């Protein structure tokens, strides 16, 4: 099954929204393949947000992402990268559509609840960045045949 990385950001930890955010992914039918809490340092954030290091808001983003430990998760499912990005919503929470996680839980462009990988290629890179191979698990939940058709499972 395809996998993606999500990070529950420090503002989500502070606001005690962990359960509600994870609940959405579980209700959708995605499988938690990895999960841990970690304190991010500047080095990993410079790598993870390399496309943003020259932007004026980068120092603020660095502080924000280090304010508390975060929860990193590997989620598994068919087309999971695209499904999770769609559930996440636009970067600016104020512009994010109602029904998306950012649209329903946030008011900020920076404090926007979660990170989600934006392509299959980046998901693989990001999962390697935050997890050791043995921290990601390939198991099939008992509900799998109620979540997908046999055809969908065969091609996943």
d(CA 156, CA 83) in angstroms, rounded, equals 14
When the beta carbons of 52 and 153 are compared against ligand UDP, the nearer one is: 52
Is 115 noted as a catalytic residue in this protein? Answer: yes
d(CA 66, CA 23) in angstroms, rounded, equals 24
Backbone angles phi, psi at 97, to 5 degrees: -65, 140
When the beta carbons of 104 and 118 are compared against ligand UDP, the nearer one is: 118
Return the DSSP state at 38: E
Shortest reach from residue 66's CB to ligand UDP, in Å: 13
Shortest reach from residue 4's CB to ligand UDP, in Å: 12
d(CA 115, CA 70) in angstroms, rounded, equals 11
Listing from the earlier edge strand, what are the strands of the sheet with 114-116?
31-38, 70-76, 3-8, 114-116
Shortest reach from residue 61's CB to ligand UDP, in Å: 5
d(CA 128, CA 76) in angstroms, rounded, equals 15
When the beta carbons of 17 and 146 are compared against ligand UDP, the nearer one is: 17
Residues making contact with ligand UDP (CB under 6 A): 49, 52, 57, 61, 91, 109-110, 112, 115, 118
Q: Give the active site residue among 115, 117, 127, 130.
A: 115
């Amino acid at each position: 099954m395809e996998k993606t990385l999500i990070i529950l950001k420090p503002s989500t930890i502070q606001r005690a929204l962990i359960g509600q955010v994870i609940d959405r992914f579980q209700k959708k039918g995605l499988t938690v393949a990895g999960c841990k809490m970690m304190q991010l340092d500047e080095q990993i954030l410079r790598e993870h947000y390399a496309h943003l290091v020259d932007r004026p808001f980068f120092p603020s983003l660095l502080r924000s992402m280090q304010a508390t430990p975060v929860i990193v998760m590997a989620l598994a499912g068919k087309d999971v990268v695209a499904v999770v990005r769609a559930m996440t919503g636009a970067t600016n929470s104020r512009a994010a559509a109602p029904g998306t996680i950012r649209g329903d839980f946030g008011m900020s462009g920076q404090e926007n609840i979660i990170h989600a990988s934006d392509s299959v290629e980046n998901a693989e890179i990001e999962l390697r960045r935050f997890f050791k191979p043995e921290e990601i698990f390939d198991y099939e939940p008992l509900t799998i045949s109620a979540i997908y058709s046999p055809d969908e499972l065969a091609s996943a």
